[in-house]
Structures are given as structure tokens and as C-alpha cells.
Amino acid sequence: MTTTRVPWNAGRWTNPPSAVGEEGDDLRVTCAPGSDAWRVTSYGFVHDSENALVTPLENGTAVEVVFTADFSKQFDQAGLFLVAGGETWVKAGLEFADGTLQLGAVVTHGTSDWSVAPVQEWLG
């Protein structure tokens, strides 16, 4: 298996965050308030305001992300955002919801489906 590090400047933002800065090999991101990815559910709203840094990848590519985040406010989240096109995407990672850290995923193909499981012991 070959490991390739994708440079930060090889990606493009789906929506620009409030602030971005490189610190060595790390990228420090402050997301725009209220930013999220979510489509057409019983909640009755659509959010296409996520701050995701995306880049094209070859089919069959494995992806790994490492992040540190301040999970303190409702729906604070960090993870991986994979776009297949248009209204078809997956976001997976950690999300602070209902007062606890959750491992979760939103799978979207026109409409979003959210699943979570608590992992409070992961909160550092």
C-alpha cells in the first residue's frame, strides 16, 4: 500500500470557513457559525453550508483523517466528508449532540439519514 499525503492547497472549500491557517503540517480551521451538511428530512430544512476541504481521489482510495477539536457546543463536529456528486455524499466522524460526544454518520442521496452512538469516553 502506498501512502500519499494530500497538500492542504490541493483541496477546495465547499464553503469557506471563518478562519484557516497552516501550523506546520497541521491545518487550523474555525468553521463558520451554523455551518452544516443536511438535506430534506422530517426536520424540514436543508443545510448546504458545510466547511469541507475536498479534493478528487481515484476510485478505491482509502482515506484517513486525524483531527483535534473542541467539542463543547451542540452539533460541534469534525470528520470526513465524501462527495459522490450533487446531493449524494457521506459525512462521518465525531459530533457533540445532546450533551455527549457521538460517533456518527450522515448518508445522503437526495435526503439525509443520520445515525449516532455515544462515545463519551473518547472525549479528552
- Could you tell me the CA-to-CA distances from 59 to 50, 56, 91 in Å, in that order? 24, 9, 18
Q: What is the pLDDT of residue 42?
A: 78
Q: What is the pLDDT of residue 43?
A: 77
Whole-angstrom distance, CA of residue 37 vs CA of residue 87: 10
Q: What is the pLDDT of residue 40?
A: 87
Q: What is the pLDDT of residue 122?
A: 84
Task: Spell out the domain ranges in the chain.
Answer: 8-122
Whole-angstrom distance, CA of residue 44 vs CA of residue 31: 23
Whole-angstrom distance, CA of residue 120 vs CA of residue 49: 27
CATH of domain 8-122: 2.60.120.200
Q: What is the pLDDT of residue 89?
A: 97
Residue by residue, pLDDT tens for the chain (124 residues) are 788 888 999 999 999 999 999 999 999 999 999 999 999 877 788 999 999 999 999 998 999 999 999 888 999 999 999 999 989 999 999 999 999 999 999 999 999 999 999 998 887 6
Q: What is the pLDDT of residue 45?
A: 85
